[in-house]
Amino acid sequence: MRRRLERLAREFAKFGTVGGLGLLVDLGLFNLLCHFMDVPVVPGGIIATVVAIGFNYLGFRYFTYRERDKDHKSRELTLFLLFSAIGLVIQSGVLYVATSGFGWDSPLQSNAFKFLGIGIATVFRFWSYRTWVFQKLPVARDARQAAGPFLDDPRVVEGDRVT
């Protein structure tokens, strides 16, 4: 149990590192677009998030989950984009409700709600990426279960040939 928690803590730390850098990309580009280039808040948020999604995929694939299965990259990328799009809807929905629904669109308010949307979406993304996108490689226990009938043969355990 302790080893499992330690592995989860390491994974969460790596996820947080990539996510933190992605957050800087997202918020930095968002502020550049919305507050210096006069792009409307929601479209600016969407553009910034899409760029951060690309950044994050590279970080997750080659840092956080580099030891995970790499044999199904097209499936992995498709699922990553699908779950990222759901996260994008969550983030943009929070930002849209705050700015369009309540008129909270000052730079401080739009950043606060952008950050809130990212936080909510991050919980969803962490769960979905580790569960569905970046699949674990089979562990020895799974291999043993698959080979169970063969390994349970007493002739194999004793080193005899099975004919």
Structural domain includes residue 105: yes
Q: Which residue has the tokens 């194999």?
A: 156
Structural domain includes residue 163: no
Q: Which residue has the tokens 């580790």?
A: 130
Expressed as residue numbers, the domain containing 45 is 2-157
Structural domain includes residue 57: yes
| 22-52 residue pLDDT tens | 999 999 999 999 999 999 999 999 999 999 9
Structural domain includes residue 11: yes
Residue 155 makes CB contacts below 8 A (sequence gap 6+) with 161, 162
Instruction: Please list the ranges in the chain whose pLDDT falls under 70.
Output: 137-163
Q: What is the pTM of this model?
A: 0.75
**What domain count does the chain have?**
1
